Chains A and B, each alone.
Chain A
């Protein structure tokens, strides 16, 4: 699949989502009239169909596609659902409205004819259909006027315009600005920026600590958290800021396989959403911590560690095999974690003092350029 140019405006993209849907429908109608089993060709979204582009350092979707037929008992329902979602999105686009994917689930859910069956039984059924449609049309859900719930918060030395309202991220108190899921440039525009770096932390609690200590002010930073795995909105925003504001991105996550994976997704994209890596990945993202070696380095007491459980170990082994973790430093990090058999949460740093993280750990790391790429 060819990578899309991320520079294209949402408007332009949104503009071509609707005709693409119409094309798809027209093709199916043609197949039906030709008495052929109508089908959709959908790119496969699995690890097997994902490649790691070393040069660009992002995960990309491969060329494998799978056919979805109407006249196949196992696929008929999904086939119907795909077109149902498409028709709903087209209505949204035509009306110029946006809606949440949950909302879309309710819009498209109804009982079929005089049966006891519904088009969708639960949202878990409709979400993957949306993703199918995204890859099939090579359009993003944002381009189809769909958004997810807000997730993550941001403060720092930046002023931006959000849907016409100017927001000064320096004056948002303890709560910060909540990051919407659609952050394309027709919605969000960056204005005055006096920050020199972006810091993404994994957790809300650590973000609060840093905000309270006004870390971002001292170190001229933009401070974000993604509430665990960074949402599409956060990732897209990061990508835009890095490119448009030319700022370095630092990532601070727990020292466990999950934390590493959050970093990895921010950096090179995820397998499931590989089709949008280009727009979201930040290959330059720097991993600031926690490193597997930090415990020794900062002489953290042994009692703040947590044993790796089975799923952690399994995950770590999987990650060792991912091509994007093939760099020696990463192998060492992961192996050392497994060797020690424990994980560390960011909060563990608080055992050295409540503001240790903002006053010593982070400044030290930044000063000594102790990061991984």
Chain B
């Protein structure tokens, strides 16, 4: 397979300037295959197919086509073919070597069909006159039989009218700039609707700021501002305290797609491709005609550069409209302003929510968010002053490398021997490991890496998995950390319970990754629906389930994912976990229900997204397994919290049952005999307390519970005051279930 590809692609390169004539010659060959020509040119097609070797199918096909061929003829053809292939061999080797650098260049491949098409369409007369037998060119051999087939089919049917010639078609063929491509396919980058466009712009700019700060070792302070210019027009302003960008780079970074620092290295970062911010700028330019405005300063005492950039979409280059030096109070940092068509909406998948999620994922970041429409500035202090550890840039691990990539690496390496190349280009390859691989692949350790034959590269690729190699260094992956996940959640969400779990690093396809999970339960998450009272008809669990499905917060390298939740590995991990065992209600095949935010973070040098829009993580079994384990760990802790809470609630409920009946009893006793009502009531309440928890071994628990209750009540009353609406009952009602069977009947307290 590889060989065929190589030859086909290699050929045009060998031909070089002589491509024209070679093409002509080659075009002659296929023609004989048309029925009339077949008898005279028997020998010709055979050799071709032979020399292209390894693919006997075309030859066989032809044999079937030309009925006249006898066995003897076949034999002679085979002999001729052998000669030819021997002759052809050196050429092709040369060809290969020359061709290799271009292996992955799309041009040759693209041109193939064109060249192949020509022969089929050229006049059949030409072939008869050409001396065919000597043709050494193997290049189009692969395509010839195919074309034959087509020609034949067309020949038998009514010949369609030609609409255009290859030449006329060639006139329309030209390079497509990435910028143009993305202008037309903006949905690929998350600009498909005005609502999403606004979010994506914020996201890209924010990702860049945080990445830059962390790489430079600066505690990030980022200000995000949305200025509403019209209902569907906004200016997004992102300003950070990052290291700044040197003047020469500014236009390229913001005005050229696929320009960046992150694509060519294996290092954990938010951005990967170098498209995001310039795509946002281009989208803005496209919808509003306004340039992208950048101010950047790299240090104290240095000038701040102020740029206005327009992207030339056809050439994918920046046009600088304005280039000033300005005064800027910051020591260093970058400010990006993009004006774009967008719509601001609150709620799910809003910028507000996104910023909140970024805060959870980045407890070390200070993010000031100024929403539009006169809403107040959102600002919460850092949860920690420690920057995340700097992720180690690593070489690819052999287990994860694909054949094509292996070929490229071997071509590009500076190492002299394959033995050295394996060690320098890959992580965790020791001399011993390298030797083992080479032994398995039957390749000399001293072979030059660039000179390996395709077959050898393939053998090498197959040998790698057979050798035991250490997992890649986990220092390349930086998790948020159990503590900080909790702090992040605590900073943004007022809940009753928090927990988190960080798994040890693991590996999928040679890429190290690490999964973490965290959750917040109850508190403010509740109360959107219904009230947090001890409703007699419902158990606590049912009441909580009424809050609807939990909120799943998916993070990949600290970037919150917004769309395509249901196809994400994290989602699958969550629905495959049995949350019922941890005290939640969970409909079959769905998210569990309750007032809960569940966070799942996947950190990796290369997060396997299912698509370029980077919205959902692929279902690698290794990743799913880690997700499950992290979720289970959190789930267990949640379960024990919920059980404890139920016990507290049980106590409260018992007390409230007693308190409820006390009034009735006092009334009845009063009618039956002479009583001192207040004294009786007082003593009964005292007894009720004595019989529900206080004074037994559960003291700590009860104290904790009452604290929590007090806190909630405080908050409630605060809210009440704010609302100044006295209609709602301020306190939880003390009620109890009529279904006393629910409680352990006949159970004795005391």
Complex interface: stretch among A109-117, A172-180, A255-263, A280-288: A109-117
B687 CB contact (under 8 Å) in A21, A37, A91:
A37
Check A119–B664 contact: CB distance below 8 A.
Answer: yes
> Contact size class for B?
35 or more
Counting chain B CB atoms within 10 Å of each CB, the highest count among A26, A91, A115 belongs to A115
Kindly list chain B residues whose C-beta atoms are within 8 Å of the C-beta of A35.
683, 686-687, 690
Most buried by A among B654, B661, B669, B683: B661
Q: How far is the CA of A21 from the CA of B671 in the complex (A)?
A: 10
Min CB distance B748 to A, Å, is: 6
Which residues from chain B contact A121 at a C-beta distance below 8 Å?
A: 738
A113 pairs with B671, CB closer than 8 A: no
Number of interface residues of A (CB under 8 A): 37
Residues of chain B with a CB closer than 8 A to A80's CB: 661, 664-665, 668
Assess the B679–A84 pair: CB atoms within 8 A. no
Chain B residues positioned under 8 Å from A115 (CB to CB): 536, 660, 733, 735-736
Chain A positions within 8 Å of B658 at CB level: 70-71, 76
Q: B491 on the interface (CB 8 Å rule)?
A: no
Q: Which of B673, B687, B740 contacts A73 (CB 8 A)?
A: B740
Residues of A7-48 contacting chain B, CB below 8 A: 21-22, 24-26, 28-29, 32-33, 35, 37
Task: Tell me, yes or no, whether B216 is within 8 Å of chain A by CB.
Answer: no
Is A71 a contact partner of B749 (Cβ separation < 8 A)? Answer: yes
**B680 interface hit (Cβ, 8 Å):** yes
CA distance A91 to B747 in the complex (A): 33
Contact A77 B691 (CB under 8 A): no
When the two chains form their complex, are residues B672 and A83 in contact, meaning their CB atoms are under 8 A apart?
yes
A235 at the interface (CB under 8 A from B): no
The secondary-structure label for the interface of chain B is helix
Which of B658, B664, B667, B747 has the most chain A CB atoms closer than 10 A to its own CB?
A: B664
Do B746 and A114 have beta carbons less than 8 Å apart?
A: no
| Residues on B with beta carbons closer than 8 Å to the beta carbon of A119 | 664
- A 131-145 to B, binary, CB cutoff 8 A, 1 in contact else 0: 000000000000000
Contact of B664 among A29, A71, A84 (CB under 8 A): A84
Contact call A26/B654, Cβ cutoff below 8 A: no
For B657, the chain A residues whose CB sits under 8 A away are 73, 76-77
CB of B744 within 8 A of CB of A70, answer no
A257 to chain B minimum Cβ distance, whole angstroms, is: 31
Q: In the complex, what's the smallest C-beta–C-beta distance from B668 to chain A, in angstroms? A: 4
The A/B interface has a contact count, at CB < 8 Å, of 112
* Residue among B536, B671, B680, B736 facing the most chain A CB atoms (10 A cut-off): B671
Q: A33-B683, A115-B660 are in contact. Are A73 and B743 (CB under 8 A)?
A: yes
**A112 and B660 contact, Cβ closer than 8 Å, known pairs A72-B749, A74-B747:** yes
The answer to whether A33 and B665 touch (CB under 8 A), given A71-B691, A74-B740, is: no
Q: Does A203 contact B (CB under 8 A)?
A: no
Task: Please determine whether B671 and A91 come into contact, CB atoms closer than 8 angstroms.
Answer: yes
Q: Confirm or deny: A361 has a beta carbon within 8 angstroms of a beta carbon on chain B.
A: no
A74 touches B746 (CB 8 A): yes
- In this complex, the member of B657, B668, B750 whose beta carbon has the largest number of chain A beta carbons within 10 angstroms is B668
How near does chain A come to B696, taking the closest CB pair, in angstroms?
13
Decide yes or no: A112 and B663 within 8 Å by CB, A73-B749, A74-B746, A83-B668 being known contacts.
Answer: yes
Contact B672 A21 (CB under 8 A): yes
A26, A71, A115, most chain B CB atoms within 10 A: A71
Per-residue contact bits, chain B 526-550, to A (CB 8 Å; 1 contact, 0 not): 0000000000100000000000000
Pick from A26, A72, A75, A113: contact of B663, CB below 8 A: A113
B175: Cβ under 8 A from any A Cβ: no
- A267 interfacial by beta-carbon distance below 8 Å: no
CA distance A115 to B674 in the complex (A): 27
Closest approach, in angstroms, between the C-beta of B450 and any C-beta of chain A?
A: 82
A74-B745 contact, Cβ under 8 Å, with A32-B683, A35-B686, A121-B738: yes
Across-interface contacts of B668 in A (CB, < 8 A): 25, 80, 83-84, 86-87
Q: Is B705 an interface residue (CB 8 A)?
A: no
**Smallest Cβ distance from B268 to chain A, in angstroms?**
55
Q: Give B533 Cβ to nearest chain A Cβ, in Å.
A: 11
Task: Establish whether residues A29 and B738, one from each chain, have CB atoms under 8 Å apart when the complex forms.
Answer: no
Q: Are B738 and A83 in contact (CB under 8 A)?
A: no
Could you say which residues of chain B place their CB within 8 Å of the CB of A113?
A: 660, 663
Listed A/B pairs (18) with beta-carbon separation below 8 Å? A25-B668, A29-B669, A29-B680, A33-B683, A35-B683, A35-B686, A37-B750, A71-B658, A72-B748, A79-B661, A80-B664, A80-B668, A87-B667, A87-B671, A115-B735, A115-B736, A116-B735, A117-B536
